[in-house]
Structure 1
Amino acid sequence: MSAIHPTAIVDGSAHLAGGVVIGPWCTVGPGVRLEADVHLVSHVVVQQDTTVGARTVIHPFAVIGGDPQHNGYRGEPVRLEIGTDNSIREHSTFNRGTPQGSGVTRVGSNGLFMTGAHVGHDAIVGDHVVMANQATLGGHARIGDRVFLGGLCAVHQNGRVGQGAIIGGLAAVTRDVIPYGSAWGNHAQLQGLNLIGLKRKGYGKDAVRRLLAAFRDLFEGGRGKAGGVFADRLDAVEAGYADLPEIMEITAFIREGGKRPLCLPGA
């Protein structure tokens, strides 16, 4: 059974699963679905056409499922889908998709979205993502699993950040960041691999050494093994490190991007 504070306003078309708690002065709009044990602490707006996954907690003054910030939006039906077990802190804003895009903004599960985090229209955010205070995603951004986005950083519209990467605070990310990469600066530059994240994930010293060797061969030419232009090094690394799934993920990420600009060391 749901618990709704008497000052809250809940649209008659909203679906509330068992255990939902809606605190003081919250607004739940049409087409909203709150799954089991969702908790809206107080002063939360879930505007419309949004699904919030089970056990997600949304803190005061967050606006979830707001209209996309897009000049071409004319009120068409678009959605926001949020996974389970997320913590969405104060003043965060998650926008719905656009007809010009996929029509859906998707946020995964087990994420922590700190104060003022912004997820733009049509973005795709993976699982176990941390967005620190005021981190911002432009429209159509794609963020992989277990990414850490530092405070006040911004990922440009259509930007991609691969799985396991870390972005430093205040970074302006205008180029795609490879999986497991570590990027910071304004504009962001690739500084290496996310060694802290790899160690936390259980990678041993030998595994990290091989990943670093592959990184050097790809981005620096290593010890003269690959040389040549970047495309030649990409081919050589794919052939030489085919047994490392993380490196294969990085090369696949690069190839998938086609002609999109790539965040490089010193670039």
Structure 2
Amino acid sequence: MNDTNLLVIKEDNIKKFWLSFITWFEEELPGTGILQEYYEYYDNWNRGTYYLSIDFEKEYKLHYGITYPNILKLKLPRMEDIKMFIELAFHEWIIFEKRYNFTVMINKRLSRFSIPYKLQNGRLIQEGYKTSYYINNILNYSMFERKIRYSEEMITSQEYLDKKSALDYIIDALQFILSVQNGEKVIQKYKSAAKSINEDENSKVYAVVKSEIEEIMKISNEYFDIRHNEYMNKAKQEREPIQDLAFIEYLYNRAYALLYLLRIKADTDKLINAKKNELT
């Protein structure tokens, strides 16, 4: 779902969320001990009141290199502008130890007004993949987790290069988790990964997972220009460039779902050991 569709379908929700947020941000947040002291001031008249003291124009020029869009005065800002404001607040204006409190507040309001975004690790990301399983461990950040997080942010962009980069990175992450499986040959690693989901090689689950691994890797390595700059594949056939943004999202979500399943079920010690080997 792009920003245009989101504004059409959820326009009233965005208005209500933003009104709720700015009321809290301007009237309730100052004096709570969440903002850094530099960004608020205390007026000791009339029983004392805290106010915001943020030079938004300076902050936007300093951190984004753009003029401040006066977003706090807008009734219906773009999600892109909301994202920039909240992320800037998280990283620059909120006390480090209070970022969790800020995150909880933001996510409660997003949920209350049915906005399909969440603040996670200081980034406002669009929720797309639905699951009741959550992954809390960070496994091999440089080779694995960082690529996944980057891809999650870029896939929601409407820019071709961003979406294409997201697809490249999620395939890279999938390739990595496959590369650390048991076996010397590629097919042995695919089988090992499938067995991490179901040990019974005669089961339909094993067959489906193994087939899906083979198909996605064939698509990325042989059919299209994913992760490869070479015009021809190993079979001397042309790799087809992907231009359709919706199709890029389809391939991304297909690979993401498989990767998520492997992250839940696969032997995570392999990823941890891979990180240790990387450091030695």
Task: Please say which structure displays the higher CA radius of gyration.
Answer: 2
Higher helix share: 2
If the length of structure 1 is used for normalisation, what is the TM-score?
0.30
If the length of structure 2 is used for normalisation, what is the TM-score?
0.29
